[in-house]
Amino acid sequence: MLIFWIIFILFTALAGISLFPIYMITVDEIQRKKYRKKPRRNRNEKKDVIVKTVFTYLVVSLIFVGLTSFSLYIVVPYWLDLPRLLTGNYAVISGTLNSYETTHTSGKSWGYNYYIKMDGIGYHTELSKDVYIGEKVTISFLPHTKVILKIK
């Protein structure tokens, strides 16, 4: 459950923070153009400045749009599962356990330690439970992130 909240908060904040520099760059550029006196330049220098400016803004915009898109791709399933988590109305499914795997992580990493595959669908959990392959189990999980909260 702790991992759910860490990912939720981290990537939500990252999505919002990544939009701030785009806003600051555009507002700053508008303010500079308003109060700056333009020196006389020849035609080739003007083209070089325009190309550099356009390329710079394009690269910066692509980086921030990519970072924001990635953050939203990660955090949207967590946002969709938040109402179910707060109300306790979890999705419940019963079926035959196909596989139960432990992922080995170092002490410095974080993540879900167990991967359960049931009826062809994979789920993640932090719960350590004595279940066996082929056994009928009932799980309570969050449907969008596939995080198991209870195993019976």
Q: Which residues pair with 142 in a beta bridge?
A: 147
Query: What pTM was computed for the model?
Result: 0.60
Lowest mean pLDDT among 5-19, 50-64, 91-105, 118-132: 5-19
Which residues contact residue 127 at a Cβ distance below 8 angstroms, ignoring those fewer than 6 apart? 114, 148, 150, 151
Mean pLDDT of 10-34: 67
- Predicted confidence (pLDDT) at residue 148 exceeds the cutoff of 70: yes
Which residues contact residue 76 at a Cβ distance below 8 angstroms, ignoring those fewer than 6 apart? 144
Give dist(CA 29, CA 25) in Å, integer: 6
Residue 40, pLDDT score: 63
The string of pLDDT tens digits covering residues 7-20 is 777 777 766 666 66
Q: Are 109 and 83 in the same domain?
A: no
For the chain, the domain total comes to 2
The string of pLDDT tens digits covering residues 38-89 is 666 666 666 777 777 778 778 877 887 787 788 778 888 888 898 898 898 9
Q: Are 78 and 98 in the same domain?
A: no
Closest CA to 115 of 127, 101, 94: 101
H helix intervals, the chain: 2-35, 43-87
Residue 131 sits in which domain range?
91-151
Q: Are 80 and 97 in the same domain?
A: no
**pLDDT-above-90 percentage for the chain:** 10
* Residue 3: Cβ-neighbour burial (10 angstroms; 0-12, 13-18, 19+): middle
Mean pLDDT of 99-106: 74
Last residue of a domain, one of 87, 106, 125: 87
Give dist(CA 94, CA 9) in Å, integer: 31
Mean pLDDT (the chain, rounded): 78
CB 121 within 8 A of CB 76: no
The C-alpha angle 138, 147, 72, rounded to 5 degrees, equals 150
Q: Are 44 and 117 in the same domain?
A: no
Last residue of a domain, one of 44, 59, 87: 87
Last residue of a domain, one of 72, 87, 102: 87
Q: Are 19 and 67 in the same domain?
A: yes
Q: Are 112 and 57 in the same domain?
A: no
Residue 37, pLDDT score: 62
> Which residue is associated with the tokens 């946002």?
79
Residue 138, pLDDT score: 92
Q: Are 9 and 78 in the same domain?
A: yes
Q: Which residues pair with 37 in a beta bridge?
A: none
- Predicted confidence (pLDDT) at residue 109 exceeds the cutoff of 60: no
Q: Are 6 and 36 in the same domain?
A: yes
